[in-house]
Amino acid sequence: MLKRFEGNPILKPTFEHPWESRMVFNTAAIYLEGKVHLLYRARGVDGGISRFGYASSPDGFHIEERQDKPVFCPQVDNDFECLGVEDPRLTRFEDRIYLLYTAYGLVPGINRRVQSIQIGMTSIKVDDFLSHNWNWGERIYPFPRVENKDAFLFPEKINHKWVLYHRISPYIWISYSENLKEWNTAKILMKPKFNWEYYKIGGGGPPHKTEKGWLFVYHAVDREFNYQLGMAMTDISDPGKIIWRYNQPVLFPEEDYEKHGEVPNVTFTCGSVVIDGTLFVYYGGADTVICLATASIDDILKEVV
């Protein structure tokens, strides 16, 4: 269902920037002011520490701008994320852009070194984002010390509440909040169902509102540890109700840049945008490069029954 861009990969590591000289992958995507803005995960010569870089494209296909320094870094004095920030997702709501990410750090206050992962969240004014004034707000952790990741917010409130998809392995969960800090309800939204989803599933980027429902892309891991992409849709007024789920992967590691790299056999998305009726899905190939695949929204909706 997704067609790869012939110019893949669209972004590669660069030795000119030591902090992203090894891997660039798993990018958030947001469409603002006629441009696609990418906030991507990068690793460099210091090994395991992940930071976020920024690039943009005027047409969705070709990178026009790439900043030479990271735009979001882990707080080294913060146990919750001192080992890195990973897998960003971006959602615009009114005049702010919300960043959800995986905080990789340590469990604080105990007498041995125990690593942890959990959801991190912050935000920035749209104007600051567009002008590249990286004035990120308070960093909060919606589910403290819960092993949790692959989180994103819906772009609008539903029944006066924020909606969050996240992954407590091996399922995709849904939670609601009135203030973005207290998430008092949580339930399983999707479980692995097909053979190609056998090991675990996790949400991709924020969903897109269509005439039939909220369309979103997700990843799944099979028995051979291939990371592939799937597609599903939830009810327009009830994001906790799945109304359609495609029974085949929409993208599977086949190209060399997806099969060979730091982590082989990976196609993994953290974001997509819709431009003039076309879905642009940005994804990491083999945890090493950033790639693009597209599909017509009309063609997708024809599959929804």
CATH of the domain at 123: 2.115.10.20
Mean pLDDT along residues 220-224? 98
- Measured between alpha carbons, how far is 136 from 139 in angstroms, rounded to an integer? 8
> Of 298, 289, 295, 233, whose CA–CA distance to 263 is shortest?
289
For the segment 188-213, the average pLDDT, to the nearest whole number, is: 97
Whole-angstrom distance between the N-terminal and C-terminal Cα of the chain? 16
pLDDT in tens, 159-186: 999 999 999 999 999 999 999 989 978 8
* Per-residue pLDDT, 60: 97
Is residue 46 very low, low, confident or very high in pLDDT (cuts 50, 70, 90)? Answer: confident
What is the count of structural domains for the chain? 1
Residue 201 has pLDDT above 80, yes or no: yes
pTM: 0.97
Q: What is the pLDDT of residue 74?
A: 97
Residue range of the domain that includes 71: 3-303
Least confidently predicted of 183-187, 191-195, 296-300:
183-187
Q: Is the pLDDT of residue 109 over 90?
A: no
Q: For tokens 């952790």, what's the residue? A: 141
Is the pLDDT at 265 greater than 80, yes or no?
A: yes
